[in-house]
Structure 1
């Protein structure tokens, strides 16, 4: 499960910003930590010096977190804020982190899109830094990467179980330091300067690195484009999730009473009875919601992290709230799938009067006086409320 994500010097983000999905003692899902082997698939009793480039380069280290016992991790994280505040930058950074880790060709494409903070001349000379913390098979991993165009300036991978933290490898311009039993020396010697060691390990199916890259590969981005994937989405769901899909659409106040599986059409209640309609007859909002379900329902079974930008722009808040509740249900989400999304404002209470999101699942973005995105738990006092923009425009036209 995704625990934390940090980014620095990426698009509208200049300073280090951290997004966390760790919950309080009563929130989220409890996920136990493994004991005794620090995630290594091989021998577990090697020691490595702890001083390092990765932990010193990047703020927000996990060393202060209490990793004993179980962690409480949220399945949901919403990032809210006005237009151009930097919401999409957070998700884009997560998607780029995935590209930097999963294959050599993806790394090349990602470094070509090097986009440092442009409003500070000094930032343009510095690398972009990403660091992600996640839990896999009871081990807490920290993977980080610093890059510029066509260059990986730094890379690090640490593992922490219930007993101790170990540095799997750390790489910078001067070389690489790694656990002897990981046998990464030959792989590192063959790694080009513009490719991450993790992606190379995935390409050659290295027993230590390939599972880490595979987890990162499970971070998926869904772009809700109404009208473009209705048939494909329903085809994907028609066999395994037909009952769940029928139940959801029947209770969503869409006028839909079922799903015709063979022709992939929604069945509507009409004056003369039930009538199946093709995708061309459905509203854009209905199609966008089905598109979201097509990505979300399978993840409830296999796990992973789903990224959705501008959720409230394509899906009605009431329908979005129903999708979010699927993730919060411990029985419906046995694989502990997670959703990180952006929207303009937090959703209000649902039809049952209960909040859709807990306070710890809500983050806000705003621009500071230097034009840089800041991520926080509290909304910015300078954000415009309903009708504020119209009043500002009216006042601007008045004589001074």
Structure 2
């Protein structure tokens, strides 16, 4: 369960910015919250607004790079650069500063953890893991670039574990993958379950569509749920049919390299059909299949996002969506968000963080004030991330959309008059 994430010195983010899913003391929309512990209440969803180029995507990209580094740093060879290092470039004093990521979360063992890393292009400078059994902070391990070995704290169960790690790798990743430490493996699994997708990116949607199709093809109950979801969204589709293509169905030029053949098969492994009713004199007489790519862009995105959401509801975890409203009607966006808030559809308290420009979702019937976040850039090009709760006078019963459109939250594009384009004074 996600509690909060902070980042500094990454792309347009210079000084530390933090997004939190810890609920405030408000009592409205309690179904939008859940309580994993007596001392903490968390939000199921959060939404980020802001003008173009204000840094919404960079907040999500920061978490993507954090997760990517955790899951893949053991692939790095000695002296390989750390490509996740993408420093803030608009202030010379920042150009050599390390990137810092920090997350607070509750793992599958129902214990709270803090995990923090700092790194530059060449090496990990700091890596610290703490946890809170019985709500008391205990260090699991600490690693600095000046130490030859990782320092194991009282919270590390196996004190005999190998403590040396390459300078460009994370110890958490090394212990989970190459050493096989069970304790670190459980934390590694937490990050592996997190899903991060850009709904505007066609390649992302294609990859997600194939991932969803693989799951649906092997899990009939998930296929049925997805068909029901697509049907209730007024697509006029009765059901979906997913089939794994046999490799013999692919026809190749004789000189096409095997690795390219493999890539094409992987990218088009599943045939996805939507089933529509055919009518005669007002009565359904047969069913007509269509290829998914014959459907509207919105229906294709609904298939991909809907399948992911339904699967994640079974396992729990966290989903990040950038450009969430792409090709989806606002009412459909609202419907999908409400699925997260409903205890029946979301029994494992899967969490969602999304970035969007769709202001109709800024509605106090859908969100609490502590679920709403904004990004804005300073005159020096630095992203600032802030909550609606930071504004004096904001209550859960105000019209969030009216406040936003009136500029009370800032986080809007500051447009010049049209004469500016043509040089008129």
Fold-level similarity (TM above 0.5): yes
Paired position in structure 1 for 2:99:
128
- Output the CA distance in 2 between the equivalents of 1:399 and 1:112: 45
Paired position in structure 2 for 1:207:
182
* 1:241 paired residue among 205, 219, 222: 222
Paired position in structure 2 for 1:259:
240
Q: Kindly report the root-mean-square deviation, in angstroms, between the aligned alpha carbons of the 2 structures.
A: 2.7
| Secondary structure of the structure 2 residue equivalent to 1:311 | coil
**How far apart are 1:367 and its partner, in Å?**
0.2
Structure 2 unpaired stretches of 5+: 244-270, 389-403
Report the count of equivalent residues. 357
Paired position in structure 2 for 1:287:
300
| Secondary structure of the structure 2 residue equivalent to 1:187 | coil
Paired position in structure 2 for 1:2:
2
Residues 115 and 141 from structure 1, CA distance in 2 versus in 1: closer, same or farther, beyond 3 angstroms? same
Q: Superposed, which structure 2 residues align to 1:175-214 within 5 Å?
A: 175=147, 176-180=150-154, 182-184=157-159, 187-188=162-163, 190-203=164-177, 204-214=179-189
1:34-88 CA distance string (max 9 Å, x none):
xxxxxxxxxxxxxxxxxxxxxxxxxxxxxxxxxxx24211121211112111111
Paired position in structure 1 for 2:267:
none
* 2:44 paired residue among 75, 78, 86: 75
Residues 110 and 291 from structure 1, CA distance in 2 versus in 1: closer, same or farther, beyond 3 angstroms? farther
- TM-score, normalising length: structure 1: 0.81
Q: Superposed, which structure 2 residues align to 1:1-400 within 5 Å?
A: 1-25=1-25, 26=27, 27=30, 28-33=32-37, 69-105=38-74, 111-136=82-107, 137-175=109-147, 176-180=150-154, 182-184=157-159, 187-188=162-163, 190-203=164-177, 204-224=179-199, 225=201, 228=206, 230=209, 233-234=212-213, 236-237=215-216, 239-260=220-241, 264-272=272-280, 273=284, 274-348=287-361, 355-378=365-388, 380-381=409-410, 383-384=412-413, 389=415, 392-394=417-419, 396-397=421-422, 399-400=424-425
Residues 135 and 346 from structure 1, CA distance in 2 versus in 1: closer, same or farther, beyond 3 angstroms? farther
Preserved contact between residue 81 and residue 168 of structure 2 (Cα < 8 Å): no
Residues 167 and 349 from structure 1, CA distance in 2 versus in 1: closer, same or farther, beyond 3 angstroms? closer
**How far apart are 1:357 and its partner, in Å?**
2.7
Paired position in structure 1 for 2:248:
none
- Output the CA distance in 1 between the equivalents of 2:131 and 2:43: 21
**How far apart are 1:396 and its partner, in Å?**
4.9
- Output the CA distance in 2 between the equivalents of 1:325 and 1:167: 38
Preserved contact between residue 102 and residue 198 of structure 1 (Cα < 8 Å): no
| Secondary structure of the structure 2 residue equivalent to 1:202 | helix
**How far apart are 1:241 and its partner, in Å?**
2.0
**How far apart are 1:183 and its partner, in Å?**
4.0
| Secondary structure of the structure 2 residue equivalent to 1:320 | helix
- Output the CA distance in 1 between the equivalents of 2:68 and 2:111: 22
- Output the CA distance in 2 between the equivalents of 1:371 and 1:325: 35
Preserved contact between residue 80 and residue 344 of structure 1 (Cα < 8 Å): yes
- Output the CA distance in 2 between the equivalents of 1:308 and 1:185: 41
**How far apart are 1:347 and its partner, in Å?**
3.7
**How far apart are 1:161 and its partner, in Å?**
3.2
List structure 1 runs of 4+ shifted beyond 6 angstroms. Answer: 107-110
- Output the CA distance in 1 between the equivalents of 2:357 and 2:57: 11
Residues 382 and 311 from structure 1, CA distance in 2 versus in 1: closer, same or farther, beyond 3 angstroms? closer
**How far apart are 1:394 and its partner, in Å?**
4.1
**How far apart are 1:151 and its partner, in Å?**
0.3
